[in-house]
Structure 1
Protein backbone atom coordinates (compact mmCIF):
# COMPACT_ATOMS: atom_id res chain seq x y z
CA UNK A 1 0.00 0.00 0.00
CA UNK A 2 1.38 3.41 -0.84
CA UNK A 3 2.23 5.84 1.90
CA UNK A 4 -0.67 8.07 0.87
CA UNK A 5 -3.16 5.22 1.00
CA UNK A 6 -1.73 4.00 4.30
CA UNK A 7 -1.96 7.56 5.58
CA UNK A 8 -5.61 7.77 4.45
CA UNK A 9 -6.51 4.65 6.43
CA UNK A 10 -4.54 5.59 9.55
CA UNK A 11 -5.83 9.17 9.64
CA UNK A 12 -9.31 7.68 9.92
CA UNK A 13 -8.04 6.01 13.08
CA UNK A 14 -7.52 2.63 11.42
CA UNK A 15 -4.51 0.45 12.24
CA UNK A 16 -3.77 -1.84 9.27
CA UNK A 17 -3.55 -4.79 11.67
CA UNK A 18 -6.93 -3.96 13.23
CA UNK A 19 -9.23 -3.74 10.22
CA UNK A 20 -12.79 -5.03 10.33
CA UNK A 21 -14.11 -7.21 7.48
CA UNK A 22 -15.33 -4.31 5.33
CA UNK A 23 -12.14 -2.34 5.89
CA UNK A 24 -10.09 -5.40 4.90
CA UNK A 25 -11.87 -5.53 1.53
CA UNK A 26 -11.34 -1.80 0.99
CA UNK A 27 -7.68 -1.96 2.01
CA UNK A 28 -7.12 -4.95 -0.32
CA UNK A 29 -8.69 -3.07 -3.23
CA UNK A 30 -6.45 -0.06 -2.54
CA UNK A 31 -3.42 -2.31 -2.19
CA UNK A 32 -4.21 -3.95 -5.56
CA UNK A 33 -4.09 -0.53 -7.23
CA UNK A 34 -0.72 0.10 -5.63
CA UNK A 35 0.55 -3.30 -6.83
CA UNK A 36 -0.57 -2.47 -10.36
CA UNK A 37 1.16 0.92 -10.24
CA UNK A 38 4.40 -0.41 -8.77
CA UNK A 39 4.77 -3.53 -10.96
CA UNK A 40 4.77 -1.90 -14.38
CA UNK A 41 6.66 -4.81 -15.99
CA UNK A 42 4.04 -7.30 -14.82
CA UNK A 43 0.98 -8.33 -16.85
CA UNK A 44 -1.12 -7.02 -13.94
CA UNK A 45 -1.03 -3.70 -15.81
CA UNK A 46 -3.35 -5.19 -18.45
CA UNK A 47 -6.05 -6.01 -15.90
CA UNK A 48 -8.99 -3.70 -15.31
CA UNK A 49 -9.10 -3.76 -11.52
CA UNK A 50 -12.69 -2.49 -11.46
CA UNK A 51 -13.73 -5.99 -12.61
CA UNK A 52 -12.48 -7.50 -9.35
CA UNK A 53 -14.99 -7.79 -6.53
CA UNK A 54 -13.36 -7.93 -3.10
CA UNK A 55 -14.90 -9.74 -0.16
CA UNK A 56 -13.72 -10.81 3.27
CA UNK A 57 -15.19 -13.94 4.80
CA UNK A 58 -15.32 -14.86 8.46
CA UNK A 59 -16.02 -18.45 7.42
CA UNK A 60 -12.97 -19.04 5.20
CA UNK A 61 -10.51 -20.82 7.49
CA UNK A 62 -8.76 -23.47 5.42
CA UNK A 63 -6.92 -21.02 3.14
CA UNK A 64 -5.93 -17.36 3.08
CA UNK A 65 -8.07 -16.49 0.07
CA UNK A 66 -9.41 -17.75 -3.23
CA UNK A 67 -10.21 -16.28 -6.62
CA UNK A 68 -13.31 -17.12 -8.63
CA UNK A 69 -13.51 -16.04 -12.26
CA UNK A 70 -16.59 -15.88 -14.44
CA UNK A 71 -15.22 -16.23 -17.95
CA UNK A 72 -17.66 -13.77 -19.46
CA UNK A 73 -16.60 -11.20 -22.01
CA UNK A 74 -14.94 -9.45 -20.24
CA UNK A 75 -14.14 -11.78 -17.31
CA UNK A 76 -15.32 -10.84 -13.82
CA UNK A 77 -13.33 -11.89 -10.75
CA UNK A 78 -14.18 -12.24 -7.09
CA UNK A 79 -11.36 -12.46 -4.58
CA UNK A 80 -12.51 -13.70 -1.19
CA UNK A 81 -10.06 -13.04 1.64
CA UNK A 82 -9.99 -14.98 4.88
CA UNK A 83 -10.76 -12.61 7.73
CA UNK A 84 -9.59 -15.19 10.33
CA UNK A 85 -6.40 -15.56 8.32
CA UNK A 86 -5.85 -11.81 8.31
CA UNK A 87 -6.45 -11.71 12.08
CA UNK A 88 -3.94 -14.53 12.59
CA UNK A 89 -1.23 -13.23 10.22
CA UNK A 90 -1.64 -9.44 10.13
CA UNK A 91 -1.60 -7.03 7.21
CA UNK A 92 2.01 -7.53 6.10
CA UNK A 93 1.54 -11.26 5.46
CA UNK A 94 -1.92 -10.69 3.98
CA UNK A 95 -0.39 -8.52 1.26
CA UNK A 96 1.42 -11.61 -0.06
CA UNK A 97 -1.92 -13.44 -0.16
CA UNK A 98 -3.44 -10.54 -2.12
CA UNK A 99 -0.60 -10.52 -4.68
CA UNK A 100 -0.96 -14.31 -5.02
CA UNK A 101 -4.67 -13.93 -5.82
CA UNK A 102 -3.93 -11.10 -8.26
CA UNK A 103 -1.63 -13.52 -10.09
CA UNK A 104 -4.62 -15.89 -10.40
CA UNK A 105 -6.67 -13.03 -11.88
CA UNK A 106 -4.02 -12.44 -14.56
CA UNK A 107 -3.69 -16.15 -15.40
CA UNK A 108 -7.47 -16.63 -15.49
CA UNK A 109 -7.86 -13.69 -17.88
CA UNK A 110 -4.99 -14.74 -20.15
CA UNK A 111 -5.59 -18.51 -20.25
CA UNK A 112 -9.08 -19.18 -18.87
CA UNK A 113 -9.32 -22.68 -17.45
CA UNK A 114 -6.81 -24.14 -19.93
CA UNK A 115 -3.85 -24.17 -17.51
CA UNK A 116 -3.07 -25.63 -14.10
CA UNK A 117 -3.87 -23.24 -11.22
CA UNK A 118 -0.24 -23.11 -10.00
CA UNK A 119 1.51 -24.14 -13.22
CA UNK A 120 4.28 -22.48 -15.19
CA UNK A 121 2.08 -19.60 -16.35
CA UNK A 122 1.09 -18.83 -12.78
CA UNK A 123 4.68 -19.06 -11.58
CA UNK A 124 5.79 -16.48 -14.15
CA UNK A 125 3.06 -14.01 -13.18
CA UNK A 126 3.60 -14.59 -9.45
CA UNK A 127 7.30 -13.82 -9.86
CA UNK A 128 6.46 -10.59 -11.70
CA UNK A 129 4.35 -9.53 -8.68
CA UNK A 130 6.77 -10.73 -6.01
CA UNK A 131 3.92 -12.99 -4.89
CA UNK A 132 4.46 -16.16 -2.91
CA UNK A 133 3.86 -19.35 -4.89
CA UNK A 134 2.01 -20.95 -2.00
CA UNK A 135 -0.49 -19.33 0.25
CA UNK A 136 -0.07 -19.13 3.96
CA UNK A 137 -0.27 -22.29 6.04
CA UNK A 138 -3.44 -23.37 7.77
CA UNK A 139 -5.13 -20.78 9.90
CA UNK A 140 -4.62 -21.61 13.58
CA UNK A 141 -7.65 -22.87 15.44
CA UNK A 142 -9.21 -20.38 17.83
CA UNK A 143 -10.23 -23.21 20.16
CA UNK A 144 -8.63 -26.57 20.90
CA UNK A 145 -10.47 -29.34 22.74
CA UNK A 146 -8.52 -31.84 24.84
CA UNK A 147 -9.33 -34.99 26.79
CA UNK A 148 -9.15 -34.12 30.50
CA UNK A 149 -7.80 -37.59 31.33
CA UNK A 150 -5.01 -38.29 28.81
CA UNK A 151 -4.48 -34.78 27.39
CA UNK A 152 -4.97 -35.77 23.73
CA UNK A 153 -6.28 -33.07 21.44
CA UNK A 154 -9.67 -34.22 20.23
CA UNK A 155 -10.71 -31.34 17.98
CA UNK A 156 -9.86 -27.84 16.77
CA UNK A 157 -12.48 -25.21 16.05
CA UNK A 158 -12.49 -21.80 14.40
CA UNK A 159 -15.78 -20.62 15.89
CA UNK A 160 -17.18 -20.70 19.41
CA UNK A 161 -19.78 -23.40 20.00
CA UNK A 162 -21.55 -25.14 22.83
CA UNK A 163 -18.54 -27.47 23.11
CA UNK A 164 -16.20 -24.50 23.63
CA UNK A 165 -18.54 -22.79 26.11
CA UNK A 166 -19.51 -25.94 28.05
CA UNK A 167 -16.78 -28.51 27.41
CA UNK A 168 -17.56 -30.46 30.60
CA UNK A 169 -20.90 -31.49 29.04
CA UNK A 170 -19.03 -33.44 26.34
CA UNK A 171 -16.70 -36.43 26.52
CA UNK A 172 -13.63 -37.39 24.56
CA UNK A 173 -13.74 -40.34 22.19
CA UNK A 174 -10.45 -41.72 23.56
CA UNK A 175 -11.14 -41.97 27.32
CA UNK A 176 -14.79 -40.95 27.58
CA UNK A 177 -13.60 -38.18 29.93
CA UNK A 178 -14.89 -34.58 30.00
CA UNK A 179 -13.32 -32.17 27.54
CA UNK A 180 -11.13 -29.19 28.34
CA UNK A 181 -10.84 -26.16 26.08
CA UNK A 182 -7.89 -23.89 25.34
CA UNK A 183 -8.44 -20.63 23.52
CA UNK A 184 -6.25 -18.61 21.20
CA UNK A 185 -5.75 -16.05 23.98
CA UNK A 186 -4.15 -18.72 26.21
CA UNK A 187 -1.38 -19.39 23.64
CA UNK A 188 -0.04 -15.85 23.48
Structure 2
Protein backbone atom coordinates (compact mmCIF):
# COMPACT_ATOMS: atom_id res chain seq x y z
CA UNK A 1 0.00 0.00 0.00
CA UNK A 2 1.28 3.44 -0.88
CA UNK A 3 1.16 5.33 2.44
CA UNK A 4 -2.26 4.55 3.82
CA UNK A 5 -4.22 4.87 0.59
CA UNK A 6 -5.34 1.50 -0.79
CA UNK A 7 -4.56 1.09 -4.47
CA UNK A 8 -5.71 -2.50 -5.00
CA UNK A 9 -8.91 -4.30 -4.09
CA UNK A 10 -7.06 -6.47 -1.60
CA UNK A 11 -5.53 -3.42 0.06
CA UNK A 12 -8.96 -1.80 0.30
CA UNK A 13 -10.39 -4.84 2.07
CA UNK A 14 -7.43 -4.99 4.47
CA UNK A 15 -7.60 -1.28 5.21
CA UNK A 16 -11.39 -1.38 5.70
CA UNK A 17 -11.09 -4.24 8.18
CA UNK A 18 -8.33 -2.41 10.07
CA UNK A 19 -10.34 0.82 10.03
CA UNK A 20 -13.44 -0.99 11.35
CA UNK A 21 -11.47 -2.01 14.44
CA UNK A 22 -10.97 1.69 15.28
CA UNK A 23 -14.68 2.55 15.12
CA UNK A 24 -16.34 2.72 18.54
CA UNK A 25 -19.23 0.33 17.93
CA UNK A 26 -20.17 -2.91 19.69
CA UNK A 27 -19.49 -5.28 16.80
CA UNK A 28 -17.00 -8.14 16.70
CA UNK A 29 -15.15 -6.67 13.73
CA UNK A 30 -12.71 -9.57 13.51
CA UNK A 31 -15.66 -11.84 12.64
CA UNK A 32 -16.84 -9.65 9.75
CA UNK A 33 -16.12 -10.97 6.28
CA UNK A 34 -15.20 -8.35 3.70
CA UNK A 35 -15.79 -8.53 -0.04
CA UNK A 36 -15.65 -6.30 -3.14
CA UNK A 37 -18.41 -5.65 -5.65
CA UNK A 38 -17.47 -4.85 -9.22
CA UNK A 39 -21.09 -4.76 -10.39
CA UNK A 40 -22.84 -2.30 -8.08
CA UNK A 41 -23.82 0.88 -9.89
CA UNK A 42 -25.46 2.94 -7.18
CA UNK A 43 -24.63 1.62 -3.73
CA UNK A 44 -21.20 2.20 -2.25
CA UNK A 45 -21.53 -0.75 0.07
CA UNK A 46 -23.91 -3.24 1.60
CA UNK A 47 -24.08 -5.44 4.65
CA UNK A 48 -25.36 -9.00 4.36
CA UNK A 49 -26.40 -11.20 7.24
CA UNK A 50 -26.59 -14.99 7.13
CA UNK A 51 -29.07 -15.83 9.90
CA UNK A 52 -28.21 -19.52 9.97
CA UNK A 53 -24.53 -18.94 10.62
CA UNK A 54 -24.93 -15.48 12.17
CA UNK A 55 -22.27 -14.32 9.72
CA UNK A 56 -21.91 -10.70 8.63
CA UNK A 57 -20.38 -9.78 5.28
CA UNK A 58 -19.70 -6.19 4.31
CA UNK A 59 -19.41 -5.69 0.55
CA UNK A 60 -17.64 -2.56 -0.64
CA UNK A 61 -18.01 -1.22 -4.17
CA UNK A 62 -14.67 -0.73 -5.88
CA UNK A 63 -15.98 1.97 -8.26
CA UNK A 64 -17.39 3.94 -5.32
CA UNK A 65 -14.06 3.84 -3.52
CA UNK A 66 -12.23 4.95 -6.67
CA UNK A 67 -14.67 7.85 -7.11
CA UNK A 68 -14.74 8.96 -3.46
CA UNK A 69 -11.23 8.29 -2.21
CA UNK A 70 -10.35 6.86 1.19
CA UNK A 71 -11.43 9.73 3.46
CA UNK A 72 -14.95 10.03 2.03
CA UNK A 73 -15.26 6.26 1.73
CA UNK A 74 -14.77 5.76 5.48
CA UNK A 75 -18.30 7.16 5.89
CA UNK A 76 -19.58 4.19 3.86
CA UNK A 77 -17.63 1.78 6.07
CA UNK A 78 -19.13 3.31 9.24
CA UNK A 79 -22.60 3.15 7.70
CA UNK A 80 -22.19 -0.56 6.95
CA UNK A 81 -20.87 -1.15 10.47
CA UNK A 82 -24.14 0.23 11.85
CA UNK A 83 -25.97 -2.38 9.75
CA UNK A 84 -23.61 -5.05 11.14
CA UNK A 85 -24.36 -3.84 14.67
CA UNK A 86 -28.12 -4.04 14.06
CA UNK A 87 -27.89 -7.49 12.49
CA UNK A 88 -25.77 -8.94 15.30
CA UNK A 89 -27.85 -7.39 18.09
CA UNK A 90 -31.36 -7.51 16.64
CA UNK A 91 -31.26 -9.95 13.69
CA UNK A 92 -32.49 -7.26 11.29
CA UNK A 93 -31.44 -3.90 9.96
CA UNK A 94 -32.97 -0.90 8.26
CA UNK A 95 -32.58 2.87 8.27
CA UNK A 96 -35.08 3.67 11.03
CA UNK A 97 -34.71 5.48 14.34
CA UNK A 98 -32.48 2.83 15.95
CA UNK A 99 -30.14 2.98 12.96
CA UNK A 100 -30.23 6.78 12.91
CA UNK A 101 -29.29 7.02 16.60
CA UNK A 102 -26.36 4.58 16.31
CA UNK A 103 -25.17 6.23 13.10
CA UNK A 104 -25.14 9.62 14.84
CA UNK A 105 -23.01 8.14 17.66
CA UNK A 106 -20.25 7.13 15.24
CA UNK A 107 -20.67 9.96 12.72
CA UNK A 108 -22.03 7.68 9.99
CA UNK A 109 -24.52 8.88 7.39
CA UNK A 110 -28.04 7.49 7.54
CA UNK A 111 -27.81 6.78 3.81
CA UNK A 112 -24.65 6.26 1.79
CA UNK A 113 -23.93 9.00 -0.68
CA UNK A 114 -24.32 8.09 -4.34
CA UNK A 115 -21.17 7.83 -6.39
CA UNK A 116 -22.70 7.85 -9.86
CA UNK A 117 -25.52 9.72 -11.46
CA UNK A 118 -28.44 7.57 -12.57
CA UNK A 119 -29.32 7.49 -16.23
CA UNK A 120 -32.94 8.08 -15.30
CA UNK A 121 -34.52 10.55 -12.92
CA UNK A 122 -37.98 10.88 -11.39
CA UNK A 123 -38.95 14.56 -11.23
CA UNK A 124 -41.86 15.85 -9.16
CA UNK A 125 -44.36 17.92 -11.15
CA UNK A 126 -44.97 20.23 -8.18
CA UNK A 127 -42.75 23.28 -8.82
CA UNK A 128 -42.41 23.87 -5.06
CA UNK A 129 -40.97 20.36 -4.51
CA UNK A 130 -37.34 19.48 -5.26
CA UNK A 131 -37.75 15.67 -5.11
CA UNK A 132 -35.81 14.13 -8.02
CA UNK A 133 -34.25 10.74 -7.19
CA UNK A 134 -31.98 9.01 -9.67
CA UNK A 135 -32.68 5.58 -11.09
CA UNK A 136 -30.19 3.31 -12.81
CA UNK A 137 -32.65 0.68 -14.02
CA UNK A 138 -36.09 0.62 -15.52
CA UNK A 139 -37.94 -0.25 -12.31
CA UNK A 140 -41.74 -0.32 -12.06
CA UNK A 141 -41.94 3.38 -11.12
CA UNK A 142 -39.91 4.12 -14.28
CA UNK A 143 -41.93 1.86 -16.59
CA UNK A 144 -45.36 2.52 -15.07
CA UNK A 145 -45.34 6.02 -13.56
CA UNK A 146 -49.10 6.31 -14.10
CA UNK A 147 -50.00 3.27 -12.00
CA UNK A 148 -50.31 4.85 -8.57
CA UNK A 149 -46.71 5.90 -7.99
CA UNK A 150 -46.22 9.37 -6.52
CA UNK A 151 -43.55 11.81 -5.40
CA UNK A 152 -41.82 10.55 -2.25
CA UNK A 153 -41.92 14.02 -0.66
CA UNK A 154 -45.23 15.71 -1.45
CA UNK A 155 -47.32 12.98 -3.10
CA UNK A 156 -47.70 14.77 -6.44
CA UNK A 157 -47.35 13.05 -9.80
CA UNK A 158 -43.91 12.88 -11.34
CA UNK A 159 -42.33 12.65 -14.76
CA UNK A 160 -39.53 10.24 -15.67
CA UNK A 161 -36.54 11.75 -17.45
CA UNK A 162 -33.88 9.93 -19.48
CA UNK A 163 -30.86 12.10 -18.61
CA UNK A 164 -28.75 11.70 -21.77
CA UNK A 165 -31.54 12.32 -24.27
CA UNK A 166 -33.81 14.59 -22.24
CA UNK A 167 -36.82 12.44 -23.19
CA UNK A 168 -39.57 12.33 -20.56
CA UNK A 169 -42.69 10.26 -19.97
CA UNK A 170 -45.63 9.97 -17.59
CA UNK A 171 -47.23 6.74 -18.81
CA UNK A 172 -46.17 3.22 -19.75
CA UNK A 173 -47.15 3.90 -23.34
CA UNK A 174 -44.83 6.95 -23.44
CA UNK A 175 -42.10 4.83 -21.79
CA UNK A 176 -42.42 2.22 -24.56
CA UNK A 177 -42.15 4.95 -27.21
CA UNK A 178 -39.05 6.41 -25.54
CA UNK A 179 -37.41 2.97 -25.44
CA UNK A 180 -38.12 2.43 -29.14
CA UNK A 181 -36.89 5.89 -30.06
CA UNK A 182 -33.66 5.53 -28.06
CA UNK A 183 -32.88 1.98 -29.24
CA UNK A 184 -29.23 1.21 -28.44
CA UNK A 185 -28.86 4.61 -26.75
CA UNK A 186 -31.16 3.48 -23.92
Shared fold by TM > 0.5? yes
The answer to whether the 8 Å contact 2:17/2:34 transfers is: yes
TM-score (norm 1): 0.60
Give the gaps of 5 or more residues in structure 1: 1-8, 142-151, 155-171, 180-188
How many residues end up aligned between the 2 structures? 129
CA distance in 2, matches of 1:70, 1:173: 42
Which whole-Å deviations, capped at 9, do the CAs of 1:45-100 have from their partners, x for residues lacking one?
3x211220011122122201000011246x21000001000111111111000000
**Equivalent residue number for residue 107 of structure 1:** 86
- 1:16-68 deviations in whole A, cap 9, x for unaligned? 1x521111111100100111xxx2xxxx23x2112200111221222010000
CA 32–174 in structure 1, closer or farther in 2 if over 3 Å, else same:
same
Deviations 1:91-117 (A, max 9, x none): 11110000000000111111113xx60
Whole-angstrom CA distance in 2 between matches of 1:112 and 1:125: 16
Unaligned runs of 5+ in 2: 119-162, 166-178
Q: Which residue of 2 aligns with 1:58?
A: 38
Distance in 2 (alpha carbons) for counterparts of 1:29 and 1:124: 23
Return closer, same or farther for 1:175/1:123 CA change in 2, 3 Å cut-off: closer
- TM alignment of 1:82-161, pairs within 5 A: 82-113=61-92, 117-140=94-117, 153-154=164-165
TM-score by length of 2: 0.61
- RMSD of aligned C-alpha atoms? 2.7
Any conservation in 2 of the 1:107–1:125 contact (CA below 8 Å)?
no
Structure 1 consecutive aligned stretches of length 4 or more whose deviation exceeds 3 Å: 172-176
